[in-house]
Amino acid sequence: MKFIADMMLGRLARWLRLYGYDTLYGVKDDDEIIEIARREGRVILTRDSGLAERAKKLGLEVILLDSNSLEGQVRELKRFGVELKELFPPNARCPKCNGPIRPVSKEEVRDKVPSKVYESYDEFYVCEDCGQIYWPGRQWKEMVKIDERLRRV
């Protein structure tokens, strides 16, 4: 299942990417969202009832979300059959750009991360599209806590 999320759903889009869902985000124009969804077979995620109605009339798949909170949005998505996959690699996509993330050797990131990070961690991942590097540091641990909360909703 591939998604395109409207501008009101940035946080949800980033989390869907972390769960491995190909999720476009950042398209501001409703007509463009509809065209991309049609062309690429994406499900439209929106809180905009007008956009949802237009897309449905065109035969596109739409999930109209009511909740303003991440937890509420995840609850609604679960009702539509969207499952929370394993968080982070090997399935994750880059939360910044939606590119695939792959493991890399420690040596590959030697001069690309702060020396303290290089010395402290042995596990690294890189986005194949934007080059962002990830490792299981403090932010990663916070994300695991949020993941645990989202799985309980």
Residue-wise pLDDT for 100-125, tens only, equals 999 999 999 999 999 999 999 999 99
List the structure tokens of 152: 């309980």
Contact criterion met (CB below 8 Å) for 20 and 85: yes
Residue 129: its pLDDT value, please? 97
Q: What is the pLDDT of residues 124-144, one digit of tens each?
A: 999 999 999 999 999 988 999
Mean pLDDT, rounded, for 76-93: 88
- Assess whether the previous peptide bond of 90 is cis (omega < 30° from 0): yes
